[in-house]
Amino acid sequence: MPSHPSRWPSRSVLRSHILAALGVAGATSACAEIPQPGDPKADSLYDAIDNDGDGVSAAEDCNDRDSAIRPGAEETCNNVDDDCDGEIDEDVRTTYFRDADFDSYGNPNDTLDDCELPDGYVENDDDCNDDSARAFPGGEEVCDGLDNDCDGNSDNIDGYWPDDDGDGYGRTGEAASECEPMPEGYADNTADCDDSNADINPGMPELCMDGIDNDCDGAMSCVVMELQEPGGADCEVTWEVTYPEAYSGSPCEGCTFYFTTNLEISLRSGDSTACDGAGERWTEFLVEGSTIGPLDGLYVGENWMADGDWISSVLTWYTGSTLVDVDGASVYAAYMGELAVYEVESYYYYYYEGRPFSVDGDHRVAECGRGSGWVTDITLTDDAQLTDDERAQAAHAWTQAALAEHAAIASFNRFAMELMSLGAPPDLLADTLAGAADEIVHARDCFAVASELSGHTIAPGAFPLEGALDDMSPAGILERLLVEGCVDETVSTSLAALRLSYVRDPKLKAVLKRIVEDETRHATLAWRAARWILSRHPDLRPHARAVLAKATMPPAGQLEPSASAALRAHGVLSRGERARERARTLQQVVTPALMALLGDFPAVHEHHA
């Protein structure tokens, strides 16, 4: 039988097959040459061999027994020449950094390239001192001569701040390190609110009638009581007005209105009576724990009221003398006091419910009236046991919330017209009108709660719309949107969520839960709309920054106390709680949103430092 050359290869080919099967080609390295005289791959028949079935002939493959190893394969970190280019693990090894002090931070100048993390190495090069485990990014700076936190400075621990007036209270500014003795002209705190006047600091008593926040507590409210027993001793004591609240119009310079102190005037810490020869008697009379007790006779009706004109943002008053009975003795009592506009819990400051409605910066609500049209049936389980005074406060708070939610209906409907004047897309209009419908439900729920707490039906009167559409300019529309929607409604959402966290009653929970869910959508809508307006009017970006800088000013009253547990359980927060939550919301929610909207808007706390 004649031989067939195509079926009977030469010995060189046979040899190649055998050697490949024996793995000789990779015996010493992945691409070691076959230890035979000459080059077997020079034989053209070698091109027909593909022992590992990877599509690459043995003539080109550096390891024809492993299909993962071939020219063009992806190089992996495995100490093998996967792509047959003569190099092992090129460009795939990881650089690790020496961690000699074992603080989990590596030395950028001591590296090792490897496939796996070696002992004594880490994946970062953040260490500024690999000889000390007490120096690493984020470390606590201590007085040891080391740069413990790797910020480029050693022993830079803020401990002393400038004290220009030498009263022992410092201000914010360039600090000196606590690692050295306190320099002259410095203090160990930043509590001073006026570092140019040594008589104004947290250690001073609040003085009335001077228009100054003497004790730097963010408030200047106080009352000087003058008591005189006929034919006997005189006494003058300075007291603090707590939670003053305007209830007949918003406070403004040049306008007259009434306010109430909610039946509570508290003795300021550190104050003492100045009663000539009768200190013990007057102290016993005036102080019951920390509040005035038997002086209810000085109040008019259930609330102590005074009226006056706001001049230079400060209200001052004097009541004249009144004959009252004190422990069976007739005593003449008179008092004077002062309040700053920002201290009064007006609608603008205190009640962030829904989206405000403002005209020329003045937030408007309807007058409060009587009627059943806005009230739904709701019965509360009074498990928190409100006192009569707490019930009155809760009813007042929910009434204000209802009026605010009612105003939000007008705000959304006006905004729909404003959007139409700007040529807005249908999705913004639809969501805006849906928001108005949501606010109707919120208002009815809040009026129902207020009515249940007060014992009579409460409803809104006519809404004041005069001048509401006078400014339809893009700048005016954007300004109202940024303040009413982006800032105030975002804060309102956070406040509603905080109230919900305290509430126990299932009906109140349902009301606040719906408000939180809806207001979250509404706040989001405001930011969407602001982005759309700025995309159409990029020239308004400087105006937006100016408006937001003012709207995100930190609130006053953050140090004031919280409401009672019973009030919180009924969804009522104190002025202090609202101020603190507003401050947190501005910092943690509004600031990031402003950065996304404007790109370079500074953090709230930095901007207003």
Average pLDDT for 218-240: 74
| SS3 letters across 279-300 | HHHHHHHHCECCECCHHHHHCE
Indicate the burial class of 462 (C-beta count within 10 angstroms; 0-12, 13-18, 19 or more): exposed
pLDDT band at 272 (very low <50, low <70, confident <90, very high): very low
| Backbone dihedral angles phi then psi of residue 596, each to the nearest 5 degrees | -70, -35
Calculate helix-pair angle for 490-502, 506-536, nearest 10 degrees. Answer: 160
Domains along the sequence of the chain with CATH: 157-192 (no CATH), 222-343 (no CATH), 347-373+388-607 (1.20.1260)
Give me the count of residues in the chain: 609
pLDDT, position 303: 42
> What percentage of the chain reaches a pLDDT higher than 70?
71
Q: Please tell me the least confidently modeled range out of 320-329, 351-360, 428-437.
A: 320-329
Rounded Cα gap, residues 214 and 61, in angstroms: 88
**Residues 181-192: tens digit of each pLDDT:** 999 999 999 889
pLDDT band at 470 (very low <50, low <70, confident <90, very high): very high
Q: Give, for 430, the enclosing helix (H) or strand (E).
A: helix 426-454
Neighbours of 274 (CB within 10 A): 12
| SS3 letters across 54-106 | CCCCCCCCCCCCCCCCCCCCCCCCCCCCCCCCCCCCCCCCEEEEECCCCCCCC
Q: Which of 175, 127, 177 is nearest to 148 (CA)?
A: 127
**Cα separations (Å) of 126 from 101, 117, 135, 147?**
13, 17, 11, 13
**Residues 388-406: tens digit of each pLDDT:** 767 877 887 888 899 899 9
Indicate the burial class of 552 (C-beta count within 10 angstroms; 0-12, 13-18, 19 or more): buried
pLDDT, position 396: 77
Question: Max alpha carbon distance in the chain (Å)?
Answer: 152
| Backbone dihedral angles phi then psi of residue 454, each to the nearest 5 degrees | -85, -20
Answer whether 0.75 is exceeded by the pTM: no
Q: Is 450 strand, coil or helix?
A: helix
**Residues 568-582: tens digit of each pLDDT:** 999 998 877 888 888
Q: Please tell me the least confidently modeled range out of 151-160, 165-174, 228-237, 519-528.
A: 228-237
pLDDT, position 605: 42
pLDDT, position 1: 42
**Residues 81-107: tens digit of each pLDDT:** 888 988 888 888 899 999 999 999 999
Task: Give strand ranges (E) for 286-420.
Answer: 305-309, 314-318, 322-326, 329-340, 358-359, 362-363, 368-369
pLDDT, position 302: 36
Amino acid (1-letter code) at residue 563: A
Cα 478–chain centre separation: 23
Question: What is the number of alpha carbons within 13 Å of residue 12 lying toward its C-beta?
Answer: 13
Handedness of CA 252, 258, 264, 270 (dihedral sign): positive
Q: Give, for 348, the enclosing helix (H) or strand (E).
A: helix 347-350
Average pLDDT for 292-317: 52
The per-residue DSSP string of 480-502 comes to HIIIIIIIIIHHHHHHHHHHHHH
Tell me: pLDDT of 9 over 60: no
Q: Which residue has the tokens 């195509």?
A: 6
